[in-house]
Amino acid sequence: MSEIPTVLVVGTGLIGTSIAIGLKNAGYEVVLHDENEHALSVALAKSGAQELSNQACDLVIVATPPSAVAEVMRHALLTHPHAVVTDVSSVKATILNALSDLGSAELARVVGGHPMAGREISGAAGAQGNLFVDRPWVLTRTDFTSEATFKKVEQMVNALGAVVIERSMLDHDEAVALISHTPQVVASVLAGELVGADAGHIELAGQGIRDTIRIASSDAGLWSEILAGNAANVAERVRSVATRLGEMADAISHGNHDQIISILEKGTAGRDRLPGKHGASRVSDALVLVRLDDKPGELARLFAVAAQAEVNLEDVRIDHSLGRMTGLVELTVSIAAQSTLESALTLAGFVVIN
């Protein structure tokens, strides 16, 4: 094996091409393959990588659509008999189970991977080498994954600036059913209620429903593959939500206040378990609320004041109304920085609430 690892990326969409760019920048040799010639040519141009011919590869990263991943991994294990093979798909057990008939020598060279980076856009055109910086990247071992194999994939993930989080296949799939796949389904179904609604009803929509159904605008084809790949976990969790909603509907119908309050309070407790952002749920975070006037440049001025006061903003949320920028701005900062920021903002003429 050469000192500079050669990585083959199969599938040059947003994720595959972003990996190619990032690994090139980190000094890897990168070769690319995609059945779609147009996608491949864009990816080659963006990354400066080479097209796959007969290079010997140390690492194969399969970044195809979910339904093709297992077969492409199998093919890679056979055609690159010394290479480590990993993938980037958001479901793990169905893919790794599909390879379980392989021998331990092959499975020793396999690690499942899931970079949890944004999918707001798709395609090679939107790829960037820094897409994974500071993002979680879950790795899952097979029963036979060798230490050397795991380390090679871990190094690649670190080279992209991502944070390795190791989980078992089953753990990963249960986790994403809970924190990604079920929210996607719930948001889509709730958003679907708007389809037949009166325009005059929708006109009253505020920031609440807007946030709740934001992720409902999604790639239905990709998501149907993801949900199919994690069917048992997602179906169970979605059924649980459906059952709880049915109970809530009954409680509301029957005026059962205690039960209504208990369900709402459980929601608050669940929401408070999310780490970090929004609502200052970390004990070290404070929320500063500022009412912004509807004047051009006010937001820029707000951030300039924060920067001048040398306050690091952990998070920013802007509440809208009637399609204008005016509204409440929520700034999350460390408790240590709160009073510095509030003073600086007040001095600059901003309305700080509380």
> Which lies closer to a second copy via its Cβ, residue 55 or residue 218?
218
Q: Give the distance, in angstroms, between the CA of residue 185 and the centroid of all CA atoms in the same chain.
A: 15
Q: Which whole-number Å values give the CA distances from 41 to 15, 44, 51, 333, in the listed order?
A: 15, 5, 9, 44
| Location of structure tokens 């060279």 | 109
Q: For the chain, what is the radius of gyration of the CA atoms? A: 24
Instruction: Tell me: does residue 24 bind a second copy (CB under 8 A).
Output: no
Question: By CB under 8 A, what part of segment 123-152 binds a second copy?
Answer: 125-126, 128, 130-131, 133-136, 138
Question: By CB under 8 A, what part of segment 207-246 binds a second copy?
Answer: 207-218, 220-221, 223-224, 227-228, 231-232, 234-246
**Residue from 151, 206, 335, 339 binding a second copy (CB under 8 A):** 206
Determine how many CB atoms are found less than 10 A away from the CB of residue 82.
Answer: 9
Q: Which whole-number Å values give the CA distances from 230 to 66, 87, 176, 233, in the listed order?
A: 11, 16, 9, 6
**What number of chain residues touch a second copy (CB under 8 A)?**
145
SS (H, E, C) 63-91: CCCHHHHHHHHHHHHHHCCCCEEEECCCC
Residue-wise burial string across 252-263, b where 16 or more C-beta atoms lie within 10 A, e elsewhere: eeeeeeeeeeeb
> Which lies closer to a second copy via its Cβ, residue 75 or residue 135?
135
Spatial CA neighbour of 344 closest among 316, 309, 312 = 309
Instruction: Tell me: does residue 194 bind a second copy (CB under 8 A).
Output: yes
Eight-class DSSP state of 293: P
Q: Give min distance, CB of 297 to a second copy, in A.
A: 4
Question: By CB under 8 A, what part of segment 241-280 binds a second copy?
Answer: 241-246, 248-250, 252-253, 255, 257, 260-261, 263-279
Q: Give min distance, CB of 58 to a second copy, in A.
A: 28
Angle at 28 between CA 147 and CA 157, to 5 degrees: 45
> Which lies closer to a second copy via its Cβ, residue 24 or residue 135?
135
Q: Give min distance, CB of 308 to a second copy, in A.
A: 8
Q: Give min distance, CB of 261 to a second copy, in A.
A: 5
Residues 122, 219 contacting (CB under 8 angstroms): yes
Q: Give min distance, CB of 148 to a second copy, in A.
A: 26
Spatial CA neighbour of 137 closest among 181, 93, 72, 87 = 87
Interface map 305-334 toward a second copy (x if CB under 8 A)? -xx--x-xxxxx-xxxxxxxxxxx-x----
> Which lies closer to a second copy via its Cβ, residue 83 or residue 176?
176
Q: Give min distance, CB of 208 to a second copy, in A.
A: 5
Question: By CB under 8 A, what part of segment 42-101 binds a second copy?
Answer: none
> Which lies closer to a second copy via its Cβ, residue 41 or residue 123?
123
Instruction: Tell me: does residue 283 bind a second copy (CB under 8 A).
Output: no
> Which lies closer to a second copy via its Cβ, residue 146 or residue 338?
338
Residues 145, 111 contacting (CB under 8 angstroms): yes
